[in-house]
Amino acid sequence: MVDLFSLLLTFFMLTTSFRPQEATVIDSPFSVSEKQAPDKDLITLIIDSTNRIFFNMDNGPDSSTKYRIDLLKQMGERYSIKFSDKELDKFSKLNSYGMPVKDIKTWLTTDDPKVKEELQQGIPMDTVDNELAMWVRYARLVNPRAEVAIKGDGNADYKVVKQVMDLLQENKVNKFNLVTNLMKEEAKLED
């Protein structure tokens, strides 16, 4: 038994890649696509079942690049919010988020998980001040190689997804990925 356990333990330790903590639960739709999602250089736009929009971007291919820090700095300048080095550092270690830019400082400084949860209202995307477009634009400035993926919940409204797609196209992103789960389907031609 001990032998088996050590074997299993070694297996899990070697093969493990930690599941990232997401701000919301997403139930992706199924497809037959077997293409793997790139794990680096990826901008992810998450749309949950209540049509909130979240944004995520990775730090880049290796530990020397800190794209998230650059991104937040630029967004801070755009909306005249000053972020301290500590806040920037904390931001670079986090994952997806969905809140207006003005709330990010509170989100980074607070330790109360309840407050953090309440802040996740979704990134505003109205015509007056399209913050999501800004995030996408600066993210692509910071990391020009980044691909864009849309991770939508199956029950999200198409209207919202369409808005997001239109927004991407306005920013000259015509090719993007839709995140799905794999489900094999058989198709046969009837004689």
> Which residues in this chain contact another protein in the complex, by CB under 8 A?
1-2, 5-6, 8-9, 12-13, 15-20, 28-37, 39, 47, 149, 151-159, 161-162, 165, 169-170, 174-182, 185, 187, 189-190
Q: Give the Cα separation of 71 and 141 in Å (integer).
A: 9
Distance in Å, CB of 69 to another protein, minimum: 25
81 or 133: whose CB is closer to another protein? 133
Distance in Å, CB of 181 to another protein, minimum: 7
Q: Give the Cα separation of 163 and 52 in Å (integer).
A: 12
The answer to whether residues 28 and 151 touch, using CB atoms and an 8 Å cutoff, is yes
Distance in Å, CB of 113 to another protein, minimum: 19
134 or 160: whose CB is closer to another protein? 160
- Beta-carbon count within 10 A of 96 CB: 19
82 or 159: whose CB is closer to another protein? 159
Distance in Å, CB of 90 to another protein, minimum: 22
Fill in the DSSP letter of residue 28: P
Sequence-distant (≥ 6) Cβ neighbours of residue 66 within 8 angstroms: 59, 60, 92
Q: Give the Cα separation of 80 and 29 in Å (integer).
A: 39
47 or 142: whose CB is closer to another protein? 47
